[in-house]
Structure 1
Amino acid sequence: MLETDELTALAALAAESAPRSEERRELEPDVVKLLLRTGFARHFVLRELGGSEGTFAELTEAVARIGAACPATAWCASLAANLGRMAAYLPADGYREVWAQGPDQLVAGSLSPFGRAVPAPGGWMLSGRWPYVSAVAFADWLLLCGTLPENAGARVFAVPRDAVTIVESWESVGMRATGSHTAVVTDVFVPDHRGFDRADLLTGRPVASAAACHTVPLEAANGLSFAGPLLGAAEGALAHWSAYAVVKARSALLRPQAPGPSRIGLAEVLAHSAGETDAARLLLERCARVADRGTDVTAEETRRNLRDTALSVKMLATAVNRLAANGGTSGFGESAPLQRYWRDVNTSATHVALQFESAAVSYAEGRLWTTETGGPEAAR
């Protein structure tokens, strides 16, 4: 259960510290402490270890609320919850080791197979270099993916923070405060109980947990990890733009011949962007409800969730871009929140998990044809 009072405090602190966090290119320590106290890291941790085994619906709403204040904080909060969910795929001895100090251990990481693992007595020797690991400077543990010899697939390994070297490499113009630096591991031994097959994560088959939040197929839930912060960003951008538009609308009423946006023009921007943002919220809320069903999620629903998260992000980016284009010169000032939302949304929308083209192909394969035969498949 995410703490309501703490969510309010976190949103306020995140908004107030956002300019400083952008300057340092990572969240301020006090923001991270409050993020953990709010319950994001423990949200999907097993109840037997003090976690919540929470829902995607609650998480998506909470992340959006934080995203309206600071998208970068929401991004880190969402990944803290979702990387913790993935750690539950470890064998019981493994996840008990990760959470031996309590359920608020911050897990960061990357599922990209940028490492290599070779067998060793009792486990594996892992080496690799993983870019774009958000909030890595504050992590207690990292989940890192490596390929196995002889094309035997890939495994995800839990590695303690002190075994990882961080290379400061995050230079993005958007989501600056996420501190998404590069994690480097060189010949680190990882025992068997601190690893699991990546394929099991994709299909929703954890080694030792039967909780619904752990048994959902990854593709049915993964897009929510990244779309939730962008929903909040769009809602935050809309609020800031609306404050600007109120002033401009009053000016247009008092001085109808003066240059500047008309009341009708402002109304159209508001209605269009607010409508797209609301539509994206409705789609994401349905995606979260589906993901919360765990093993009951069908293949068709998984493909639809992929479609809907990617489509939602397209709508959110379009809505924010329209607001920025009609937010006046002041909206692009370095101290203006609107330009920060604009940068954050457009940067995040490039994430590989949010690309509409691949989601569309997956959806079409289930509705129109199969990859094996190229022939039609009956719609369900």
Structure 2
Amino acid sequence: MSTIDTAKRDSSARAAFNGASDARGQAAGGNAGGDPAARGHSDVVAAAAALIPVLRSRVAQTDALSKLPDATIADLENARLFDLARPKMYGGLQASYETYLDTVIELARGDGSTAWTLALLTTFTWLTSVSYPQHVTDKIFAPGASVRICGSIGPRRARTRRVAGGYVIEDGLWTYNTGFYHAQWDQLGIPLVNDAGELIGRGAALLQASDVTPLDDWDTIGLRGTGSTSVTVKDVFVPDERIASMGRNLQDDYAATHLLDVPAYRTPLVPTLALRLVCPMVGMAKAAVELLTEKIGTRGIAFTTYEKQDEAAVTHLQIGEATAKIDAAESVIRQAIRLLEAGTERGERISVEQRARIWRDAAFASQLIWEAVDRLAGASGTAFVNRTGPMNRIWHDVRVATMHGALYADTLFEIYGRLAAGKAPNTPLLPSLS
């Protein structure tokens, strides 16, 4: 769906859905979203779309808390959106990538912080699902358990010690633990060492959130409600069964052999994570288009004879350029998703070059979205400068999202360019495939 089509979505259809959702909720014993797993793609997306008004009404509270309000967590839980990446064998939705994208877009139209938080929490649900053997995930995804998993794979510092049956994390610091305040588990990157203390690889340790200490240092210009605090760990034992090899993960050698027949849990690590990061930005950009087009018929252009902004050719050009970039970004993402899923479904192993290309495309889409939102902000006039203005908030949210290291365009262009020039990529995240 184009950006303009989304911006002009029929409000009567939304109202009809909300009424139907209420009826389903009563029939389901109070679950306002009903059961998305039984309703399929369109209704999962609709459940997210129905939350847009209430998410917009909570933006000031969300920013003030520097995390999502409890009411928002409850809404996402009731709509079962935290189950998007949870395997069906554990009662999850096991949603396709397209469903994930469309759902996150709708949430981001309501609030960028909510969409980003859900995106990261469900991403670590996916990573946990593929990284550990069944006897471990059977415990994590126990029947009836509400499971939210945050994480940070790259430690700022981490010191570990090999002991009988596992590792002790003696000391560690990890930044940007999005959604930590709402999670029961935290997946943290650690160095793997032998008995002599020598580095032998990199791992991902799954810890109970109660064993992790937040520093409460998330105070940013954008995505304030994501609660992406830094965390520390001191002298915590992690059993071997909850330590995954990142080297194996990067080779698509996932420990979750019980999910080998499910394509959604066989996609390669790096392109999967990169695409999941950029998806919320599409919805943020669509919200910016909606915001601008709602106002252009009610205000003029200062120091001109235009009494209404929508009469000016410059406005038409601004909208045309911005929406073209947003639509292009979305198209790039959807094409990358199709490439990723089609290869996995055919049982093909995606090459290092293809992985780098998808990662590059995620960064390029991020750049296009930033350029579009910056253009729309510039077209918003002096109203944009108000600190609490909605366009100002979207602009800051998108800018902070583009600063994520996994979406930093110059870095990703260089990595792909090195491969195109016949050189090895200068990142450990794209090793040669064995």
TM-score, structure 2 length as denominator?
0.80
1:278 is the counterpart of 2:327: yes
SS in 1 for 2:217: coil
Tell me how many residue pairs correspond in the alignment. 368
Alpha-carbon separation, structure 2, partners of 1:259 and 1:40: 41
Inter-partner Cα distance in structure 2 for 1:94 and 1:59: 25
Cα deviation code 1:103-123 (max 9, x no counterpart): 640000101134332211111
Asked if structure 1 preserves the Cα contact closer than 8 Å seen for 2:275 and 2:359, the reply is: no
- Please tell me the residue identity of whatever aligns with 2:295: Y
* Partner Cα distance (1:353, 1:203) in 2: 19
Q: Secondary structure at the match of 1:112?
A: coil
Partner SS, residue 100 of structure 1: coil
Query: Structure 1's 315 and 103: CA in aligned 2 closer, same or farther, altered over 3 A?
Result: farther
Gaps of 5+ in 2: 1-36, 426-434
Counterpart Cα distance in 1 of 2:206 and 2:252: 18
Name which of 107, 117, 131 aligns with 1:66. 107
Measured after TM superposition, the shift of residue 329 of structure 1 is: 1.0
**Change in CA separation of 1:200 and 1:229 when aligned onto 2, cut-off 3 Å:** same
What is the correspondence of 1:1-380 to structure 2 with a 5 Å cutoff? 1=37, 3-88=44-129, 89-100=131-142, 102=144, 104-113=146-155, 114-126=157-169, 127-149=171-193, 150-208=198-256, 209-210=259-260, 211-248=262-299, 251=300, 256=305, 263-293=312-342, 294=344, 296=348, 298-299=350-351, 300-371=353-424
Classify 1:336/1:207 alpha carbon distance in 2 versus 1 (closer, same or farther; 3 Å): same
Equivalent position SS for 1:247: coil
Q: Give secondary structure in 1 for the equivalent of 2:384.
A: helix
- 8 Å CA contact 1:45–1:84 kept in 2: the answer is yes
Report the Cα offset of residue 94 of structure 1: 1.7
- Residues 1:44 and 1:338: Cα distance change in structure 2 (over 3 Å): same
Deviation of residue 80 (structure 1)? 1.5
* Contact 1:72/1:176 (8 A) holds in 2: yes
Distance in 1 (CA, whole Å) between partners of 2:99 and 2:82 is 14
User: Aligned in 2, Cα 1:116/1:46: closer, same or farther, shift over 3 Å?
Assistant: farther
Q: Is the 8 A contact 1:21 1:28 kept in 2?
A: yes
- Equivalents in 2 of 1:181, 1:190: separation in Å? 22
Gaps in structure 1 of 5+ consecutive residues = 373-380
Structure 2 distance, partners of 1:103, 1:317, is: 38
RMSD (Å), alpha carbons = 2.1
User: Mean Cα displacement is larger for which, 110-119 or 174-183?
Assistant: 110-119
Shift of 1:259: 11
| Bigger RCO (CA 8 Å, 6+ sep) | 1
Partners of 1:184 and 1:14 lie apart in 2 by 31
Match of 2:30 in 1: none
Q: Is the 8 A contact 1:307 1:360 kept in 2?
A: yes
- The runs of 4+ residues in structure 1 deviating greater than 3 Å are 101-104, 257-262
Matched-pair identity in %: 21
The residue number in structure 1 matching 2:8 is none
* Deviation per residue, 1:118-172 (Å, 9 max, x gap): 2111111123121211110111111011112312111101111111111200011
Give, in whole Å, the separation in 2 of the partners of 1:232 and 1:80: 17
